Amino acid sequence: MENFINIDAVTMGYYLLDFIIVVALLAGMKLMMGLIANVPGGQPQQTNPALGIAKAGAIVAIAIMLMGVLSGDISTTPMSELILILMYGVSGIFLMWLTRIVFDRVSLPHISIQNEIMKGNIAAGLVDAGNMIATAIIIRAVMVWVDGSALSDIFMVLGGFLLSQALLLLATLYRSKLFKSRHPEGSIHQEIENNNVALALRFSGHRIGVALSVTAASGMVAYI
């Protein structure tokens, strides 16, 4: 066993601290879920599958984002490590909430995703979940890229978030134009409003694919 595990007590202490912080963030996820998914937390999910899908997307997105939070070298002191992880974790959760607003008001301004979710529109829940997961993938890629060992790097994470929203907005515009060219009488937001699950899956898959492409590209350029 010693041939495979070579971690000193100090490093193990840092890992334990990171683990406790992440568990605390995950434990508080239920309290923050209504804020992140932008839907009331008290509505029974068994009576509204769209709400369950949106919340599941938020959970997966936060888990992906936390993978980026834990990347990078350990800090010089336990206190600086605590501050660093908390700052990145809270900032990432805030960005997940912010992407929900951008998606609802900028990417798809002609439909209220939140209202559709509360109506039980599964297509709306799918595109909402896909948007959060796609954003989380890009945020994680940026966190891993910048190493995340300094508080100043959080500005690079913010820049990566802005880039992610710009790319996802362009992807939405492209899909909307493409759909309009093939179906002149309809639009993506109308199909989502009509609970077109097949279109919602394609739409979400395309956005996640864009996010994965950005992740692949981030590994080609070193952060200095």
Which residue has tokens 């509360």?
Answer: 118
Write the DSSP symbol of residue 196. Answer: -
Residue 205: CB atoms within 10 Å:
13
pTM for this predicted structure:
0.82
The reported pLDDT for the residue numbered 72 is 63
- The whole-angstrom separation of Cα 131 and Cα 136 is 9
- The whole-angstrom separation of Cα 129 and Cα 208 is 10
Write the DSSP symbol of residue 28. Answer: T
Query: Which two structure tokens, joined as six digits, stand for 133?
Result: 């997961």
CB 104 within 8 A of CB 169: no
Phi, psi of 212 (to 5 degrees): -65, -35
The reported pLDDT for the residue numbered 23 is 80
The reported pLDDT for the residue numbered 208 is 93
The reported pLDDT for the residue numbered 1 is 45
The reported pLDDT for the residue numbered 203 is 93
C-alpha separations of 99 from 36, 142, 158, 174, 181 in Å: 9, 16, 12, 19, 28
CB 69 within 8 A of CB 144: no
The reported pLDDT for the residue numbered 130 is 94
Query: Which two structure tokens, joined as six digits, stand for 123?
Result: 């297509």
Torsion of CA 137, 165, 62, 160, to 10 degrees: 70
The reported pLDDT for the residue numbered 219 is 58
The reported pLDDT for the residue numbered 204 is 93
Q: Which residues of the chain are under the pLDDT cut of 50?
A: 1-2, 41-42, 224
- The whole-angstrom separation of Cα 123 and Cα 34 is 19
